[in-house]
Structure 1
Amino acid sequence: MLEAGKSSEPQPATVLVDIPNKHLHVLNEIIKLVDPQMQPLVADVLNYVPKEILLDMIRFKPDSEIRIIECVNKVNGDTRRVRYASWMKRQLIPEFLKGLTWKDIMGEVVDQKEHDVCWAIVVAELIRALRQIDGRDADVNIRYSTQELIDFVDPVQRRVERKAEHYCYPLNLTKGFEYVMKNGIQREEDRTFSGCPRDVPDYTPSSQLGYIKNFARLGTISEALIQLKEHPIGASLAIFQPEYRNIGKKIYRGPVSQNSKLRCMHAISLIEVGEENGEKYVLARTSHGKKFGDDGHIKISLEVVILYIPIPGEDVDENAKKYFSKPRSLVGRFSYPVLLTEAEEEIQKKIHQDKQVSCDEMEL
Structure 2
Amino acid sequence: MKLCLLIFVQTVFAVEEWNSFKVTYHKVYQNPDEENFRQNVFLENLKLIKAQNEKYEQGLSSFSVGVNRFTDLSKQELFSSKPSAHFDSSVKIGSSGPSFTQDVPDSIDWRDFGVISRVYDQLLCQSCWAFAVVGAIEPHVAIHEQRNVSLSEQNLIDCVDSNFACDDYLDREIVDKTYQYIINNNGIDTLESYPNIYYSVGSCNFSAENVGARILGYANVTEGDEEELKSVVGTLGPVTVVITTDMAWSVYQDGVYYKENCMNTTEIFNHAAVIVGYGNDNGEDYWLVKNSWGFWFGDGGYIKMARNRENNCGIASIARYPLI
TM-score (normalizing by structure 1): 0.53
Moved more, 263-272 or 216-225: 263-272
Amino acid at match of 1:269: V
User: Which residue of 1 is the match for residue 154 of structure 2?
Assistant: 147
CA contact (8 A) 1:115 1:168 kept: no
State whether residues 238 and 254 of structure 1, in contact with CA within 8 Å, keep that contact through their aligned partners in structure 2: no
Q: 1:248 to 1:182 in 2, by over 3 A?
A: same
Instruction: Name structure 2 gaps, 5 residues minimum.
Output: 1-74, 77-101
The superposition leaves residues 209-258 of structure 1 with CA deviations (integer Å, 9 ceiling, x where unpaired) of 411011000111111101112211111221022x112211121112679x
Residue matched to 1:101: 109
Residues 288-327 of structure 1 correspond to what in structure 2 (within 5 A)?
Answer: 288-305=293-310
Mean alpha-carbon deviation: is it higher for 117-126 or for 180-189? 117-126
Who is 2:245 aligned against?
A: 239
Distance across 2 between alignment mates of 1:269 and 1:196: 20
Could you tell me which amino acid in structure 2 is paired with residue 152 of structure 1? Answer: C
Change beyond 3 A, Cα 1:197–1:290? closer
Contact 2:286/2:305 (CA < 8 Å) preserved in 1? yes
Please give the secondary structure, in 1, of the residue aligned with 2:228. Answer: helix
Contact 2:128 2:273 in 1 (8 A): yes
Q: Which SS does the other structure have where 1:274 is aligned?
A: strand
Match of 1:195, SS?
Answer: coil
1:179 corresponding residue in structure 2: 181
User: Kindly, what percent of the aligned residue pairs are identical?
Assistant: 22
The residue aligned with 1:195 is 198
Matches within 5 A, 1:144-293: 144-155=151-162, 157-158=163-164, 161=165, 163=167, 170=171, 172-183=174-185, 184-197=187-200, 199-200=202-203, 202-219=205-222, 220-230=225-235, 231-241=237-247, 243-254=248-259, 262=267, 265-293=270-298
The one-letter code of the counterpart of 1:214 is: G
Aligned residues: 215
In structure 2, the CA distance between the partners of 1:255 and 1:247, relative to structure 1 (3 Å rule), is farther
CA contact (8 A) 1:145 1:193 kept: yes
Which is higher, the Rg of structure 1 or of structure 2?
1
Do the aligned partners of residues 134 and 120 (structure 1) sit closer, same or farther apart at CA in structure 2, a change above 3 Å counting? same
Q: Which has the higher strand share?
A: 1
Question: What is the CA–CA distance in structure 1 between the aligned matches of 2:290 and 2:300, rounded to whole Å?
Answer: 9
CA deviation profile, 1:267-319 (whole Å, cap 9, x unmatched):
1111222223322111111111112111111010114448xxxxxxxxxxxxx
Judge conservation of contact 2:241–2:275 (CA < 8 Å) in 1: yes
Alpha-carbon distance between aligned partners in 1 of 2:240 and 2:204, rounded to the nearest angstrom = 28
What SS does the aligned partner of 1:111 have? coil
Q: Does 1:132 align with 2:142?
A: yes
Give the counterpart of 1:112 among 122, 136, 148: 122
What is the letter of the counterpart of residue 232 of structure 1? P
Q: CA RMSD in A?
A: 3.0
CA distance in 2 between counterparts of 1:96 and 1:149 reads 32
Change in CA separation of 1:261 and 1:250 when aligned onto 2, cut-off 3 Å: farther
Gaps of 5+ in 1: 1-73, 76-93, 307-327, 340-364
Deviation of 1:197 after TM superposition, in Å, equals 3.1
- Cα drift, residue 145 of structure 1: 0.8
Partner of 1:318: none
Q: Comparing both chains, which one has the higher relative contact order based on Cα–Cα distances under 8 Å and sequence gaps of 6 or more?
A: 2
